[in-house]
A and B are shown apart, each in its own frame.
Chain A
Amino acid sequence: MNKKLLMSLLLLVCLSLTACGGNHGTSSSKGGDQLVIAADQDPVGLDPQTVPAASSSRIYSLIYNSLTKINSNFEIEPSLASSWKVSDGGKTITFNLQKGIKFQNGKEFTSDDVKYTFNRILDPKVGAIAKSYFTSIKDIQTPDKNTVVFHLNNPDSAFITNTSSVYTSIISKDVKNLNKEAVGTGPYKLSKIVNGQYVLLKENTDYKLEDKPKIKSIKFNIMKDDEQRLAAIRAGKVDIATLNSDSASLLSKSKNIKIKKYQSMEYSYLGINNDKKPFNNIKVRQALSYVIDRNEIIDTVWKGKAELTGPISPAQKEFAADVKSFPSYTQNLSKAKELLKEAGYPNGFSTVIQTASTYPDMVDTAQVLQQQLKKIGINAKIEQLEWGKYIEVWKSKKMDLMIGRNTSGSDPDRSLRFFFATDGSANVWNYSDNKFDKLVQSALQTTDSNARKNFYQEAQELLVNQDAANLFLASPINYYAVNDRVSHFTPSAAGEAYALLNATLK
């Protein structure tokens, strides 16, 4: 009897092996109306206001709408708001809402939902990501069900851009557990989530806004390994995959696959504790800025697939400073040595660079910097931290040097005030400069767009050249591999959802 069992098991294995060999050569995936995307992480919750993880936002940004949206040229376009008007010297903003829009649970979308959404964002107990975007709100009025009026404490030039953020997605006042239920007004409905496996979205057939999707359903299959995504897109099992630049170059000669790239809004930086010896000395920070070679980081860590950056990513062409013209962006060893000597450290000093072990590029960056700092006698020890510990150190404001990554946001106000103003929510570097604070505040309050640009230009020069508060290193180029069955998918810094809504399937 045992022999029989063994034989039948053997037979099963043989069967399965032949089954493997049987269907090679088929190139396209499922076919039909479903787009399959290889996602590198599980979503960690779907509340658009409190969960900033990219693995979550790429999904909820398809389920919800915001009042406005941003296109690939960073221009504001209508979404749930059909038009808006700024009055009272910039202190009153009136949004006219689209009529006849329904939430996916059948409830009508009205101005009450907008008010509910913004009140929730401002509620300190919720801990909304976008809370710091809207500190200028004094009160919100809803004169009728299609009009929302925001009264502000002061003019806020970033306000309308900020209403395009996915973190300000309009939620229904009837939905309580936003991490479990995803009920938006958006082009797709959540159909199924199987943890660790996939997320399935189906077209919202009642969707009335202009950006109606052309693909019936989108499936995000979780494939955490880069090699795995590479193999899956090659075999045509998935239609779209995000890849690192190495994997992307491997695919450049593949048939049926196109590589699409775009300048990301992210940048890597060396964070400096402006309050801690010896970095509280401005000359030491300047010396750091002169000794490092940002181009070497771009060439070795990113294999040339990144751009020089300041605190505003080069993707945001209108506001990003031309950092190449900054003197400290050219390595100058003698100047660095001189500055260090003036600061009282002629022979350098010892310090620690902390980095997150989760991200190989951050570890590589730390290693390149370690070598570069040695040139002026600074001995840096690298500490690789697990992600939870890393966040804890980041928040502690007690680090020496720290490698990190920021997303610079679609408005320069976020890139500068949020991260570097004295009271900025993410200013963990103890950086405080009155002049900088005034500049970013003035930029926020002016309604003249040229004046605004000049304020931000000056603020960037101050932050980077004069104060060297942090060292901004490189803004990577991101890659997508796309099967030929997909057309009109053009990724940009405007976001994946924007590109997906324009895409079609053959």
Chain B
Amino acid sequence: MGKYILKRLFSLIPIIIGISIIVFLIIHLVPGDPASIILGNNATPEAIKALNAKLGLDKPLIVQYFDWVVHLIQGNFGTSVQTDQSVLPTLINKFLVTFQLTLLSVLIGWIIAIPLGILSAVKANSVVDFILRIISMLGISIPNFAIGTLLLLILSVYFGWYPPIDYVNFWDDPISALKIFILPAITMGIVLSAGIMRMTRTSFIETLNKDFIRTARAKGNPEGTVIVGHGLRNSMIPIITIGGMQIGYLLGGAVIVEQLFSIPGIGQYILNGIYHRDFPVVQGGVLFISLIFVFVNLIVDIIYCWIDPRIKY
């Protein structure tokens, strides 16, 4: 197992190099330079030139790339062109916000999805199953910003309620933090739950037809024990796979939901960076997210072993 993790970590190196080159090229080849966006329409060519020189953007691309990589290796992600803040600490800060939101969303998603998915499987092809499948179809089809906007407007119009407008961290003020996170988390949770529910149903139906379930029933176990004790654990692998992928995506920042609810997460940070051609933020941010994504996949693989001891690497 240890050897496997080590191997996976080593295989990250070429991935990171590849990502760094792609990210760097894409953002530098997009038209529009930061100086003219910062200075706006009224800027003189001299001012643009001066700012470009200050930002080091007048050097050849290849030199700029190696400058960046050398700094990266030293743990220096650079400073934001827009705010003069150091990129890495800001990224970590924003990531922690996104992380909290992701956890709560996934929690809500799973709490809705798994019981309903199991119900749907146990009552397969009944009216209940039919209704649940329609609901999950709806959940997949409705875009999350629509759900979010509806929640906000309905709560403010009919209940005069709006989440606190100042962001606080969970560890500073848990109650306020929950009030801030609850709407975006429900919004994303609903969308997540649809996918998980469908996967749970499929996976469960398959498991329930297996021989060991028949054996468990034949031994006279109560139905509850059969479903939760024997069925659930054996159906978890595909659910975990989908869940892991969802978490990976969410940790990359749910841009629209973050924007709608003013959550200062990583998605908004990078999107803003793109708008302002803030090269260090975009390069550092995308690299960071890629690493997280790869890392989450690794964790998912490790969880497989824990859920199903038959899996060995």
**Which residues of A line the B interface, CB within 8 A?**
9-10, 12-13, 15-17, 19-21, 23-27, 36, 42, 44-45, 50-53, 124-127, 129, 131-132, 179-180, 194-198, 221-225, 227-228, 230-232, 234-238, 386-389, 391-392, 394-395, 425-426
Contact = CB atoms under 8 A, between A and B. Distances in A.
Contacts of A51: 38, 40
B149 interface: yes
B44 A238 contact: no
Contact of B260 (A17, A227, A236): A227
B299 to A, nearest CB: 17
Interface in B24-61: 30-33, 36-44, 46-48, 50-51
A235 B164 CA distance: 11
Contacts of A42: 272
Nearest to A129: B42
Contacts of A236: 160, 162
Nearest to A128: B47
A51 B47 CA distance: 12
Report the 6 A-B pairs with minimum CB-CB distance, sorted nearest first. A127-B47, A388-B32, A235-B162, A16-B178, A24-B159, A231-B156
B122 interface: no
14 contacts: A19-B179, A24-B161, A44-B82, A125-B50, A132-B42, A195-B83, A195-B264, A227-B149, A234-B156, A234-B160, A386-B32, A388-B30, A388-B277, A392-B36
B84 A179 contact: yes
Nearest to B159: A24
Contact of B39 (A50, A221, A230, A389): A50
A197 B166 contact: yes
Contacts of A194: 167, 264
B307 interface: no
A24 B165 CA distance: 15
A25 B42 contact: no
Nearest to A125: B50
Contacts of A394: 41
Given A16-B182, A127-B48, A234-B156, A391 B165 contact: no
Nearest to A389: B31
Contacts of A225: 149, 259-260
Contact of A231 (B41, B153, B179): B153
Nearest to A180: B84
A45 B38 contact: yes
A227 B50 contact: no
- The secondary-structure label for the interface of chain B is helix
Contacts of B261: 228
B44 A124 contact: yes
B259 A9 contact: no
A349 B281 CA distance: 44
A425 B268 contact: no
B46 A125 contact: yes
Given A228-B260, A231-B152, A231-B156, A13 B41 contact: no
A125 to B, nearest CB: 5
Interface string B195-222: 0000000000000000000000000000
Contacts of A222: 262
A34 B219 CA distance: 70
B38 A391 contact: no
A221 B166 contact: yes
Given A129-B42, A195-B264, A230-B153, A221 B37 contact: no
B85 interface: yes
A224 B108 CA distance: 26
B168 to A, nearest CB: 10
B68 interface: no
Nearest to A232: B162
Contacts of B153: 227, 230-231
A223 B32 CA distance: 26
A23 B175 CA distance: 13
Interface in B235-293: 259-262, 264, 268-269, 272, 275-277
A15 B178 CA distance: 9
A130 to B, nearest CB: 9
A389 B275 CA distance: 10
B32 A389 contact: yes
A388 B275 contact: yes
Q: Chain B CB within 10 Å — which of A51, A53, A131, A196 has the most?
A: A196
B157 interface: yes
Contact of B107 (A13, A23, A26): A13
Contact of A13 (B51, B111, B149, B272): B111
Nearest to A234: B156
Nearest to A12: B178
Nearest to B153: A231
Given A20-B182, A392-B31, A223 B262 contact: yes
B46 A224 contact: no
A155 B149 CA distance: 56
Nearest to B264: A196
Interface string B140-165: 00000000010011011101111011
Residue in B47, B262, B264 with the greatest tally of chain A CB atoms within 10 Å: B262
Given A19-B175, A124-B44, A227 B152 contact: yes
A155 to B, nearest CB: 25
B111 A10 contact: yes
A197 B94 CA distance: 12
Nearest to A428: B41
A236 B164 CA distance: 11
Contacts of B32: 386-389, 391-392
Contacts of B107: 9, 13
B47 A124 contact: yes
Nearest to B277: A388
A45 B32 CA distance: 19
B160 A25 contact: yes
A198 B167 CA distance: 9
Name the residue among B33, B161, B272 with the largest chain A CB count within 10 angstroms: B161
Contact of B82 (A15, A45, A52, A126): A45
A180 B33 CA distance: 22
A241 B275 CA distance: 24
A425 B85 contact: no
Most chain B Cβ neighbours within 10 Å, of A20, A127, A237, A389: A127
Contact of B38 (A21, A23, A25, A44): A44
B258 to A, nearest CB: 9
A53 B277 CA distance: 16
B259 A231 contact: no
Interface in B74-102: 82-85
Most buried by B among A13, A44, A51, A231: A231
Contact of B36 (A9, A20, A391): A391
A225 B146 CA distance: 12
Given A44-B38, A389-B32, 15 more contacts: A13-B107, A16-B182, A17-B182, A129-B42, A194-B264, A195-B85, A222-B262, A224-B259, A231-B156, A234-B160, A237-B162, A238-B165, A387-B37, A388-B31, A391-B32
